A and B are shown apart, each in its own frame.
Chain A
Amino acid sequence: AQTVTQSQPEMSVQEAETVTLSCTYDTSESDYYLFWYKQPPSRQMILVIRQEAYKQQNATENRFSVNFQKAAKSFSLKISDSQLGDAAMYFCAYRRQETSGSRLTFGEGTQLTVNP
Protein backbone atom coordinates (compact mmCIF):
# COMPACT_ATOMS: atom_id res chain seq x y z
CA ALA A 1 0.00 0.00 0.00
CA GLN A 2 1.11 3.51 -0.69
CA THR A 3 1.97 5.76 2.23
CA VAL A 4 2.70 9.47 2.43
CA THR A 5 4.68 11.01 5.29
CA GLN A 6 4.98 14.65 6.26
CA SER A 7 7.49 14.89 9.06
CA GLN A 8 6.90 18.55 9.93
CA PRO A 9 3.64 18.98 11.86
CA GLU A 10 4.22 22.75 12.06
CA MET A 11 6.31 25.30 10.20
CA SER A 12 6.53 29.06 10.41
CA VAL A 13 7.93 31.67 8.05
CA GLN A 14 8.27 35.42 7.99
CA GLU A 15 6.24 37.28 5.43
CA ALA A 16 8.19 37.66 2.14
CA GLU A 17 10.58 34.85 3.08
CA THR A 18 10.86 31.36 1.60
CA VAL A 19 9.79 28.14 3.26
CA THR A 20 10.07 24.50 2.23
CA LEU A 21 7.64 21.78 3.32
CA SER A 22 8.80 18.18 3.19
CA CYS A 23 7.03 15.08 1.97
CA THR A 24 8.16 11.52 1.40
CA TYR A 25 6.15 8.65 0.03
CA ASP A 26 6.40 4.95 -0.50
CA THR A 27 5.19 3.14 -3.59
CA SER A 28 6.15 0.29 -5.86
CA GLU A 29 4.53 1.97 -8.85
CA SER A 30 6.56 3.72 -11.51
CA ASP A 31 3.83 6.02 -12.81
CA TYR A 32 1.82 8.18 -10.44
CA TYR A 33 0.84 11.72 -9.57
CA LEU A 34 1.82 13.81 -6.59
CA PHE A 35 -0.08 16.81 -5.30
CA TRP A 36 0.12 19.53 -2.73
CA TYR A 37 -3.20 20.72 -1.35
CA LYS A 38 -3.83 23.71 0.87
CA GLN A 39 -6.58 23.68 3.49
CA PRO A 40 -7.24 27.10 5.04
CA PRO A 41 -9.47 27.53 8.09
CA SER A 42 -12.44 27.74 5.72
CA ARG A 43 -11.80 24.00 5.28
CA GLN A 44 -12.00 23.67 1.50
CA MET A 45 -9.04 21.78 0.08
CA ILE A 46 -7.44 23.72 -2.75
CA LEU A 47 -4.99 22.23 -5.23
CA VAL A 48 -1.69 24.11 -5.10
CA ILE A 49 0.50 22.17 -7.49
CA ARG A 50 0.81 18.76 -9.12
CA GLN A 51 3.62 16.63 -10.55
CA GLU A 52 3.53 13.65 -12.88
CA ALA A 53 6.14 11.08 -11.91
CA TYR A 54 7.28 10.52 -15.49
CA LYS A 55 8.27 14.16 -15.84
CA GLN A 56 11.76 14.99 -14.64
CA GLN A 57 11.14 18.73 -14.70
CA ASN A 58 9.92 20.12 -11.40
CA ALA A 59 6.49 21.75 -11.52
CA THR A 60 6.10 25.45 -10.76
CA GLU A 61 3.01 27.59 -10.22
CA ASN A 62 3.85 31.23 -9.62
CA ARG A 63 5.37 31.41 -6.11
CA PHE A 64 5.02 27.66 -5.57
CA SER A 65 7.49 25.09 -6.82
CA VAL A 66 8.37 21.51 -6.01
CA ASN A 67 11.57 19.54 -5.69
CA PHE A 68 10.69 16.08 -6.97
CA GLN A 69 13.30 13.42 -6.31
CA LYS A 70 11.85 10.19 -7.71
CA ALA A 71 14.64 7.86 -6.62
CA ALA A 72 14.50 9.23 -3.09
CA LYS A 73 10.67 9.30 -3.16
CA SER A 74 10.70 12.86 -1.98
CA PHE A 75 8.37 15.68 -3.00
CA SER A 76 8.95 18.98 -1.21
CA LEU A 77 7.04 22.22 -1.69
CA LYS A 78 8.80 25.57 -1.77
CA ILE A 79 6.81 28.73 -1.18
CA SER A 80 8.64 31.88 -2.19
CA ASP A 81 7.77 35.42 -1.09
CA SER A 82 5.40 34.05 1.55
CA GLN A 83 2.18 35.97 2.05
CA LEU A 84 -0.21 36.08 5.00
CA GLY A 85 -2.79 34.30 2.85
CA ASP A 86 -0.49 31.30 2.56
CA ALA A 87 -1.16 30.40 6.18
CA ALA A 88 -2.98 27.08 6.13
CA MET A 89 -2.62 23.35 6.55
CA TYR A 90 -0.73 21.84 3.64
CA PHE A 91 -1.22 18.23 2.59
CA CYS A 92 0.94 16.15 0.32
CA ALA A 93 -1.00 13.52 -1.63
CA TYR A 94 -0.27 10.58 -3.91
CA ARG A 95 -2.39 9.00 -6.62
CA ARG A 96 -1.76 6.04 -8.83
CA GLN A 97 -1.86 6.69 -12.54
CA GLU A 98 -4.66 4.42 -13.62
CA THR A 99 -8.06 4.82 -15.12
CA SER A 100 -10.03 2.50 -12.86
CA GLY A 101 -9.19 3.70 -9.40
CA SER A 102 -8.09 7.12 -8.40
CA ARG A 103 -8.09 7.47 -4.63
CA LEU A 104 -5.79 10.07 -3.16
CA THR A 105 -3.56 9.04 -0.26
CA PHE A 106 -2.77 12.00 1.98
CA GLY A 107 -0.01 12.74 4.45
CA GLU A 108 -0.67 13.98 7.96
CA GLY A 109 -0.31 17.62 7.02
CA THR A 110 1.94 20.56 7.91
CA GLN A 111 0.43 23.61 9.59
CA LEU A 112 2.09 26.70 8.10
CA THR A 113 2.09 29.97 10.01
CA VAL A 114 3.12 33.19 8.26
CA ASN A 115 4.36 35.90 10.61
CA PRO A 116 3.98 39.56 9.60
Chain B
Amino acid sequence: DTGVSQNPRHKITKRGQNVTFRCDPISEHNRLYWYRQTLGQGPEFLTYFQNEAQLEKSRLLSDRFSAERPKGSFSTLEIQRTEQGDSAMYLCASSLGASPYGYTFGSGTRLTVV
Protein backbone atom coordinates (compact mmCIF):
# COMPACT_ATOMS: atom_id res chain seq x y z
CA ASP B 1 0.00 0.00 0.00
CA THR B 2 1.46 3.31 -1.05
CA GLY B 3 -0.64 5.58 1.15
CA VAL B 4 -3.37 8.03 0.15
CA SER B 5 -3.30 8.85 -3.54
CA GLN B 6 -4.83 11.94 -5.10
CA ASN B 7 -5.27 12.74 -8.77
CA PRO B 8 -4.61 14.96 -10.52
CA ARG B 9 -1.78 16.78 -8.73
CA HIS B 10 -2.58 20.01 -10.50
CA LYS B 11 -5.65 21.26 -12.31
CA ILE B 12 -6.05 24.54 -14.16
CA THR B 13 -9.55 25.33 -15.31
CA LYS B 14 -11.49 28.23 -16.66
CA ARG B 15 -14.10 29.89 -14.52
CA GLY B 16 -17.46 28.26 -14.98
CA GLN B 17 -16.11 24.83 -15.85
CA ASN B 18 -16.70 21.71 -13.78
CA VAL B 19 -13.82 19.78 -12.23
CA THR B 20 -13.55 16.44 -10.51
CA PHE B 21 -10.82 15.17 -8.21
CA ARG B 22 -10.20 11.62 -7.12
CA CYS B 23 -8.88 10.23 -3.85
CA ASP B 24 -7.80 6.65 -3.21
CA PRO B 25 -7.43 6.04 0.53
CA ILE B 26 -5.39 3.40 2.29
CA SER B 27 -7.29 0.21 1.51
CA GLU B 28 -8.22 -0.82 5.04
CA HIS B 29 -9.27 2.68 6.10
CA ASN B 30 -13.03 3.08 6.38
CA ARG B 31 -13.04 6.86 6.90
CA LEU B 32 -12.21 9.37 4.24
CA TYR B 33 -11.99 13.15 4.65
CA TRP B 34 -11.80 16.12 2.31
CA TYR B 35 -10.14 19.38 3.33
CA ARG B 36 -9.47 22.62 1.51
CA GLN B 37 -6.31 24.62 2.09
CA THR B 38 -5.77 28.13 0.76
CA LEU B 39 -2.31 29.66 0.52
CA GLY B 40 -0.75 30.34 3.89
CA GLN B 41 -3.66 28.88 5.84
CA GLY B 42 -4.38 25.67 7.66
CA PRO B 43 -6.64 23.06 6.09
CA GLU B 44 -10.39 23.52 6.55
CA PHE B 45 -12.74 20.58 6.86
CA LEU B 46 -15.18 20.01 4.00
CA THR B 47 -16.73 16.59 4.50
CA TYR B 48 -16.12 13.03 5.59
CA PHE B 49 -17.33 9.53 4.81
CA GLN B 50 -17.53 6.39 6.83
CA ASN B 51 -17.56 3.63 4.26
CA GLU B 52 -19.98 4.90 1.58
CA ALA B 53 -22.03 7.11 3.91
CA GLN B 54 -21.36 10.84 3.94
CA LEU B 55 -21.72 11.61 7.64
CA GLU B 56 -20.80 15.26 7.94
CA LYS B 57 -20.57 18.27 5.66
CA SER B 58 -19.14 21.68 6.46
CA ARG B 59 -20.94 24.91 5.66
CA LEU B 60 -17.98 25.53 3.35
CA LEU B 61 -19.37 22.85 1.07
CA SER B 62 -21.70 24.94 -1.05
CA ASP B 63 -24.30 23.55 -3.44
CA ARG B 64 -21.69 23.62 -6.19
CA PHE B 65 -19.63 21.01 -4.36
CA SER B 66 -20.51 17.35 -4.24
CA ALA B 67 -18.56 14.40 -2.92
CA GLU B 68 -19.18 10.71 -3.35
CA ARG B 69 -17.71 7.47 -2.17
CA PRO B 70 -19.89 4.98 -4.00
CA LYS B 71 -18.38 1.68 -2.92
CA GLY B 72 -16.68 2.78 0.24
CA SER B 73 -13.29 2.80 -1.46
CA PHE B 74 -12.19 5.75 -3.60
CA SER B 75 -13.92 9.11 -3.42
CA THR B 76 -14.54 11.93 -5.87
CA LEU B 77 -15.01 15.62 -5.18
CA GLU B 78 -16.74 17.59 -7.93
CA ILE B 79 -16.95 21.36 -8.15
CA GLN B 80 -19.50 22.71 -10.60
CA ARG B 81 -19.36 26.15 -12.20
CA THR B 82 -15.96 26.90 -10.69
CA GLU B 83 -15.20 30.38 -9.36
CA GLN B 84 -11.86 32.04 -8.76
CA GLY B 85 -12.43 31.70 -5.03
CA ASP B 86 -12.34 27.92 -5.44
CA SER B 87 -8.62 28.11 -6.19
CA ALA B 88 -6.97 26.13 -3.39
CA MET B 89 -5.30 22.88 -2.47
CA TYR B 90 -7.79 20.08 -1.94
CA LEU B 91 -6.51 17.51 0.52
CA CYS B 92 -7.82 14.02 1.10
CA ALA B 93 -7.09 11.94 4.18
CA SER B 94 -8.13 8.58 5.51
CA SER B 95 -8.24 6.78 8.85
CA LEU B 96 -9.33 3.53 10.41
CA GLY B 97 -12.29 4.59 12.47
CA ALA B 98 -11.80 7.47 14.85
CA SER B 99 -8.14 6.66 15.05
CA PRO B 100 -6.31 8.37 17.90
CA TYR B 101 -3.32 8.57 15.60
CA GLY B 102 -4.91 11.12 13.34
CA TYR B 103 -5.17 10.73 9.64
CA THR B 104 -2.95 9.82 6.73
CA PHE B 105 -3.01 12.61 4.19
CA GLY B 106 -2.51 12.56 0.46
CA SER B 107 -0.36 15.08 -1.38
CA GLY B 108 -3.37 17.08 -2.51
CA THR B 109 -4.74 18.45 -5.75
CA ARG B 110 -3.95 22.08 -6.47
CA LEU B 111 -6.78 23.79 -8.32
CA THR B 112 -6.27 27.06 -10.15
CA VAL B 113 -9.33 28.76 -11.61
CA VAL B 114 -8.48 31.37 -14.25
Contacts and interface: CB of A to CB of B under 8 A. Distances in A.
Contacts of B106: 44
Chain B interface size range? 20 to 34
Contact of B101 (A42, A50, A99): A50
Contact of A47 (B91, B98, B101, B108): B101
Contacts, number: 67
B56 A103 contact: yes
State which size class the interface on A falls in.
Answer: 20 to 34
Given A43-B110, A99-B97, A108-B42, 15 more contacts: A33-B102, A35-B102, A43-B89, A47-B101, A47-B103, A91-B42, A93-B42, A100-B55, A100-B98, A101-B48, A102-B95, A103-B45, A103-B56, A104-B33, A108-B41
Interface string A96-116: 011111111111110000000
